[in-house]
Structure 1
Amino acid sequence: MIGRTVTWSEGHWTREPASTRVEDGALVAQALEGSDYWRTTHYGFVHDDGHGLLAEWPADTAVEVDFDTSSLTGLYDQAGLLLFANEAQWVKAGIEVSDGVLHLGAVVTNGVSDWSLAPVPEWAGRLVTIRASLGGETGDAVTLRARADGGPWRTLRVAPFTAGDAQAGPMLCAPLRAGLEVRFPRWALAPADVELHADPPGE
């Protein structure tokens, strides 16, 4: 497929944020305190009240979201990309604050959640892109990649995910505080990855 920008009006919120506005083409959203996505593992609770702006995610495509990490300062503040099949099968990938440090991570949920993360303190204050690719050689798996300020891609995770009628789009959550506001300059569909150990098409 040929890549295209997804307009903000194409999406629908899983839960309306405290506020949203568009500034110079970028979406700026403020999370509600206590918002999060998590299912059972370790903590025993289910949170499905985060903020995801979702639109159709066609098979054999990639979806990308850019966001500014400058506002991510509180414990568990998070922003990135939500991939959603149903309430028990979803993936969130992006940047999350843990122990005072920005971490690049993913929560993959198939009935229950698991969490993988790696510290990226050098990405503080930068524009991060999260990319998820379905199809191609990956079959029923999703390949997650990330980069900062248009730099080299970093492969974050390869995880099982059924395409089906999945939707995808920007995500933000603020489990422990009010006032988290995140700026998302871009949301786009792009050609799917061709090969796991090569940069995405067009790079």
Structure 2
Amino acid sequence: MVQSIEWSSGNWHQQPVRAVEDADGGLSVEPQADSDLWRHTGYGFVHDYAPALLVDFPVGSAVEVDFRLDYAEQFDQAGVLVRVDDRNWVKTGVEISDGQPQIGAVVTNEFSDWSVAPVPQWAGREVTVRVSRVADALIVRARPAGEPWQLVRLAPLDGDAPAAAGPYCCSPSRGGLTVRFSGWRQGPADATLHPPE
């Protein structure tokens, strides 16, 4: 059964500038200016500063996060962070790159690996990102409200590694971003990578 997670149940990996729960149960988060998560590849730097609200993420479970895609500046991003430690983590969600929203994932095992695909039609909509943890992998899916799930990534993750997961956001190029998260849930992992035909 999928169950909602209370915002107060999570622990912050890096504190945001501001996190305010509203009357409708959403959580608005403002990350610090120039916040980011990245290791080495292509850019030659290591950044490990982005607010993420995390709970334990065991094998056999899934985490879903909802947020409104109403940001539009270069590299603004929000979604789900799965974190083992500062050298092993996955962030996935929607990032503004090359002038448009891109669904993608950064898979990091000492070095970061970035994949994206444009989703301009998602702008201004509620988006859900879902990450399932199976024996040796993460299955990442996403969708805008009311549409079918789209497979984003299958990524390796050691089943013996303790991990935590939850909503994150960051703004590598500016300050002043605020992301409103409207839901956070945990339940059983997806049973299969591909849905039955």
Q: Per the alignment, in what secondary structure is the counterpart of residue 117 of structure 2?
A: strand
Which residue among 163, 176, 179 is the counterpart of 2:176? 179
**Within 5 A, what are the aligned runs for 1:52-71?**
52-70=52-70
Task: Read off the aligned partner of 1:190 and give its amino acid letter.
Answer: G
Identity %: 47
| 1:162 aligned partner | 158
CA distance in 2, matches of 1:82, 1:177: 20
Structure 1 alignment gaps of length 5 or more: none
| 1:47 aligned partner | 47
Aligned 8 A contact 1:134 1:143 in 2: yes
| 1:102 aligned partner | 101
CA distance in 1, matches of 2:57, 2:5: 11
Q: TM-score, normalization: structure 1?
A: 0.93
| 2:27 aligned partner | 27
Deviations 1:55-100 (A, max 9, x none): 1112201110000001x21100000000001110000000000011
Cα distance, 1:134 vs. partner?
1.0
| 1:129 aligned partner | 128
Runs of 4+ in 1 over 4 A off after TM superposition: none
CA distance in 2, matches of 1:161, 1:191: 17
Deviations 1:131-185 (A, max 9, x none): 00012xxx20110000001310000000101243100000100011111000001
CA distance in 1, matches of 2:187, 2:108: 24
CA distance in 1, matches of 2:91, 2:51: 11
CA distance in 2, matches of 1:88, 1:160: 14
Structure 2 alignment gaps of length 5 or more: none
Aligned 8 A contact 1:85 1:162 in 2: no
CA RMSD of the aligned region, Å?
Answer: 1.0
CA distance in 2, matches of 1:49, 1:162: 23
- The total of aligned residue pairs comes to 194
